[in-house]
Each structure stands twice: as structure tokens, then as C-alpha cells.
């Protein structure tokens, strides 16, 4: 099946308007090849990593090889000192319409349990650099889960979000029941998971799932602008801020406040905290060095 996945995506390669960080046919640092994603540096300073899912005919169904390539690309950007934020997107028709069901249909419980099926998807959540999802079209099942793994979600005005696994006789398996509930609350999450119903971009914003909605043609550019704004700050302090906010999802209020205080105090050991405050006092722009 993985071979079929690779063959199907081979016909989808498109011409690129600028040099790629890791071209779709070039071996990555881990020795793999990008066949299902496009990877570039974006922004005026080239400081925003850009990953585009590229299985258009399959509506960017998340086959195993594609998700492994996403992990490799994230690692490359994580280790690139020029990159301060990462944008993850799909096509205008589909961010990702779900996991690749053809890869799942014949799996057994023993295979899933022994192989920790889908566990490697969580790699999206482990980096220190912020990841912004730019969602157009369908973000369903695994696609919705992938978007929710990102730190910020921007949506095109025609985007649709949903967890329709119940219609296939299963349930979300990559965080859908957990992250969706934390984002939109129990009632809406329960309705979406138990019925398979979708919500629009506007409903997603109203419920807190996405932060902003833009015209479909603008959402990627707006996500890159957000990435540039983040990348202009100290990468060290951005990582601390991300850790503190993520702590709110996993810790009690008291524990989260303790984590925040420790990280806040830690900023006083950095050159960038001193530079930032001095720049404010001196009424000039800060020159952060990520130290």
C-alpha cells in the first residue's frame, strides 16, 4: 500500500516558483525522499518554514509515508537556525480529507497495538518552533487532528472541519476526541464525534477551534505573515512562551502557574530579555540574537 501511495503521488509533482529547502525528489538529511510534500522557505527574510501536503488527487489523504515526510521536514526546520516559525498547509480544495483508509482497511488489532499505529503523528507537537496550520477546504478526520496538533490555526472561509470516523465504524485515533474537546468544549465535540457532522470555518472560529478566518485565496499568505511576525522575536523566548501556553492544556491551574513562573524567571538569564527591555527603555527596536 505504501508503494501505491508513492506511485499515486508521483504524478502530482508541480513546478516550483523558487528553490526548495528540500526538493520533492531530493534525499533529506535522514536519507528519505519527499514525494508527498513540498518544502520551502518563505517570507521576506526566508525565516518561515513552509510545508505543503501534495497528494491532490487523493485530497491529501494522510498516508503513512506522507506523515513520516512531514516529520522529517519539521526536523529540518527545527534544526535550521534561520527558521523561526513553520506553516503547514494543503491545497485550496483540501487541507487533508483524512487518513488513508486504504492503508487501514485490512489492519488488525494486533498490528495496531503492537506497532503503536499513528503514534508517530504526534511528532508534529514535539517541536519548539511554532507551527501554523493554514486550512482550506476539507480538514476531516486525521486532517482535522493534524490541524489541531499545530499551535495556531488559520482557516479559509470555505474550510470545513469534522471527525467523521464514526461513519466508518471507528473513532478518532490521533487526538480528535481530546484536542477537539479542549478546543470547543464537550457538547460540540461530542456532537461532532458521535454524528460525524462538520462545522464551517465561521463556526470553528466562534467555537475557538481556529483563531482567524480569511478568504481562501489569502489564508496561506496571512499564515506566512503571522510566521514572519513570530520569527522576528527571540526564538529562545518564543519556545518558552509556547511551552507555557501548552502547559495550560495538560496541567492544573496551580501547576501551570508554577511552570509559567519558572519560565518567566528563566528569561532573566537570557541576553534577549536584557536586550528587549533595554530597547524598550531606549525607544529603539530590539536586536535579538536568540541567546
User: Could you give the residue numbers annotated as active site?
Assistant: 99, 142, 145, 165
Map grid coordinates 538529511 to a residue. 29
Helix/strand/coil (H/E/C) assignment for every residue in the chain: CHHHHHHHHHCCCCCCCCCCCCCCCCECCCCCECCCEEEEEECCCCCEEEEEECCHHHCCCECHHHHHHHHHHHHHHHCCCCCCEEEEECCCCEEECCECHHHHCCCCHHHHHHCCCCHHHHHHHCCCCCEEEEECEEEECHHHHHHHHCCEEEEECCCEEECHHHHHCCCCCCCHHHHHHHHHCHHHHHHHHHHCCEEEHHHHHHHCCCCEEECCCCHHHHHHHHHHHHHCCCHHHHHHHHHHHHHHHHCCHHHHHHHHHHHHHHHHHCHHHHHHHHHHHCCCCCCCCCC
Q: How far apart are CA 96 and CA 143, in angstroms?
A: 4
Amino acid at each position: 500500500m505504501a508503494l501505491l501511495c508513492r506511485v499515486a503521488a508521483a504524478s502530482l509533482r508541480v513546478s516550483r516558483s523558487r528553490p526548495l529547502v528540500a526538493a520533492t525528489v531530493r534525499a533529506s538529511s535522514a536519507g528519505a525522499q519527499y514525494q508527498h510534500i513540498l518544502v520551502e522557505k518563505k517570507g521576506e527574510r526566508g525565516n518561515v518554514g513552509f510545508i505543503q501536503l501534495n497528494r491532490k488527487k487523493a485530497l491529501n489523504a494522510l498516508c503513512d509515508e506522507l506523515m513520516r515526510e512531514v516529520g522529517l521536514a519539521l526536523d529540518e526546520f527545527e534544526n535550521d537556525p534561520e527558521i523561526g516559525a513553520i506553516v503547514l498547509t494543503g491545497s485550496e480544495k483540501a487541507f487533508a480529507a483524512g487518513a488513508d483508509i486504504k492503508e487501514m482497511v485490512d489492519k488488525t488489532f494486533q498490528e495496531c497495538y503492537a506497532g503503536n499505529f499513528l503514534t508517530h503523528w504526534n511528532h508534529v507537537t514535539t517541536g519548539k518552533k511554532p507551527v501554523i496550520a493554514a486550512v482550506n477546504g476539507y480538514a476531516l478526520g486525521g486532517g482535522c487532528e493534524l490541524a489541531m496538533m499545530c499551535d495556531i490555526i488559520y482557516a479559509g472561509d470555505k474550510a470545513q472541519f469534522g471527525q467523521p470516523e464514526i461513519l466508518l465504524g471507528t473513532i478518532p485515533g490521533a487526538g480528535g476526541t481530546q484536542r477537539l474537546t479542549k478546543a470547543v468544549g464537550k457538547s460540540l465535540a461530542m456532537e461532532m464525534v458521535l454524528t460525524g457532522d462538520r462545522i464551517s470555518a465561521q463556526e470553528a472560529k466562534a467555537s475557538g477551534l481556529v483563531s482567524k478566518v480569511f478568504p481562501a485565496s489569502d489564508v496561506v499568505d496571512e499564515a506566512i505573515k503571522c510566521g514572519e511576525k513570530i520569527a522576528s522575536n527571540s526564538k529562545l523566548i518564543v519556545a518558552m512562551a509556547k511551552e507555557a501556553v501548552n502547559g495550560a492544556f495538560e496541567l492544573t491551574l496551580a501547576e501551570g502557574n508554577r511552570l509559567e513562573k519558572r519560565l518567566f524567571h528563566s528569561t532573566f538569564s537570557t541576553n534577549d530579555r536584557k536586550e528587549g527591555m533595554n530597547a524598550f527603555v531606549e525607544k529603539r527596536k530590539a536586536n535579538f540574537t536568540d541567546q
